[in-house]
Amino acid sequence: MMKKYILFSLLMSMAALSWGKHVPEQQAGVVASTFLSARVETAVSVRNIVSGGNDTYYVVNLNPRGWVIVSADDVAEPILGYSLSGSLETDGMPDNMRGLLEGYAREIEEIASLTADPHPDWVSTRALTRAPGGRVIDPLIQVNWNQTAPYNAYCPQGTALVGCVAVAMSQAMSVQRYPDRPQGRVSYTAPGYGGLSIDFDAERAYNWNDILAGTDNYDEAARLMYHAGLSVEMGYGTDGSGIPSNEVNRITDALRENFSYPESVQYIWRDQYDGDWEQLLLNELSAGRAIIYNAVDTKGNYGHSFNLDGYDGDGHFHVNWGWGGTGNGYFGVDNLRDLAMNMDYDAGHVAVIGIGAPDQVLKDITLSNLHIEEGLPAGAVVGQIKVNGAAALSTYTVSVHGTYDSASGTYAEVPFAVSGDMLVTTEVLTASDEAYTIEVTVEDSESETSLTQGFRIQIDPWKSLEESTSLRYDRQSERFSLHTKHNVSYVLTDLSGRVLQSGMLEPLPELTIDTQVLPADGFCLELTCGEEKKNIQIIK
């Protein structure tokens, strides 16, 4: 009853305040208190408020713990970042910490220059008072390592910094408690330090209990981080250690070659990824794998590696910045700001994923297609479901449901089902701008483990056969890949008209054509869908 009364009082206070363009300090305090109260389910009060970034944001520290960064202009999203624990102090900061939130200031000023309309979350208090309704993933990383002493004990001369890449790699590996030992050899020249080399095969095995416990003044953790640094040929320095921001392959190569992680470890650039970026990250975290996230501040010419390792169920990812816990908190992937450095990560986003031990039973779930056209009868196939890159084993049970609502403890209903290894519709669907968010769960009876990963299914408006059909050629495999709409038949002939192959494109509207087994001079392909026809001729 007390909790309800406190929240009611806060809401009344918010309603009494004017919602102008500039957000007063008092209002920022109410917003921060209301927001955090809904998440910790207990009363909180304002301890102090500090404005920054030319009065574009407030840092609100709360009692008994926690902090919230609130926009000071109502054109921007109210909550820019938050933490349920600790505090974010501004007094006595070193120089590189005094401007730590300038990135937020630039973003807010840019938004204000484009519009005077308030952000919807300022108009309605629902976004501030609702408890997170989605699936919550608690932070996977249980350590807060840093780059300075004692973590740099093995680095050149004992004074060079560990490097953010090495910290992020090591923290991600700490979740898996893997590998047992490093392997291979590394030798390179580090500017300012001369030749650096190591025979990993001669190194003793890792003691993961000591690594995670910080035994012997973090000696074993320091050794792991030094190994990670050498594996990527770290450029060491006392002011900063790093690798070129565009050479992320150094990280994936090292994880596979020196730390025995599987080939599924890969890096993906955000601007080259066609799928849903947030869902990609969520699926990694759902599989119990921390992410190494690289981003570049194009204005300051800085790059930094850090970890994404949790999710609050409401659009914010938990970030471990690799600065001994300083600034760790929840942020949207479009608002990543390093609270321990003065950086605004606005470009060059790349995620290193797949950092899981090889013996992980359920690694990932994939769906071959995320689009289906409207108006198809129930039972139409959306795509093929694969587990660990292959068909589901007999010990697997595969199911589909909507997203989880933690408030009600139920899953949303969705018009899809699993039939064999296919995702199918359960009713006739109509095109919409809103995609269906579904979750596919795989349970393995043998290992008694399960994995849930999400997908967004888009229902596309009707398109003609001409508009729906695409044909791509892979030079390496010498194969054509055709994708079209449902209910299409095909006839493949040589150039003289002799039929080579024919049939319906089902259950998926796809066709792979291997040119190595076709006539050398070319082929013709005729597609038919009702009254529509499309002819494709390939001449070599």
**Residues noted as catalytic:** 164, 304
**E strand spans, 144-287:** 185-190, 194-199, 266-269
Question: Which residue, among 109, 104, 108, 54, has the nearest Cα to 82 in the 3D structure?
Answer: 104
State the burial class of residue 359 (Cβ atoms within 10 Å of its Cβ: 0-12, 13-18, 19+). Answer: exposed
Rounded CA-CA distance 307/311 in Å is 12
Is residue 153 within 8 A of residue 219, CB to CB? The reply is yes
DSSP state at residue 136 = -
| Largest separation between any pair of C-alpha atoms in the chain | 84
- Tokens standing for 62? 């709360």
C-alpha 46: how far from chain center: 32
Q: In what order do the strands lie in the sheet with 381-387?
A: 365-367, 381-387, 422-425, 416-419
Collect all residues with Cβ–Cβ distance below 8 Å to 253 and sequence separation of at least 6.
Answer: none
State the burial class of residue 171 (Cβ atoms within 10 Å of its Cβ: 0-12, 13-18, 19+). Answer: buried
Rounded CA-CA distance 130/37 in Å is 10
Q: Residue 210: helix, strand or coil by DSSP? A: helix
Rounded CA-CA distance 72/51 in Å is 8
Q: What is the Rg, in whole angstroms, of the alpha carbon atoms belonging to the chain? A: 27
Q: Please identify which residue in the block is written with the tokens 């888009």.
A: 458
Q: Using alpha carbons, list the distances in angstroms from residue 430 to 32, 369, 374, 427, 462.
A: 41, 18, 5, 10, 9
Pairing of strands 510-514, 479-483: antiparallel
Phi-psi region of 15 (alpha: psi -120 to 50; beta: other; left: phi over 0): alpha
Is residue 252 within 8 A of residue 266, CB to CB? The reply is yes
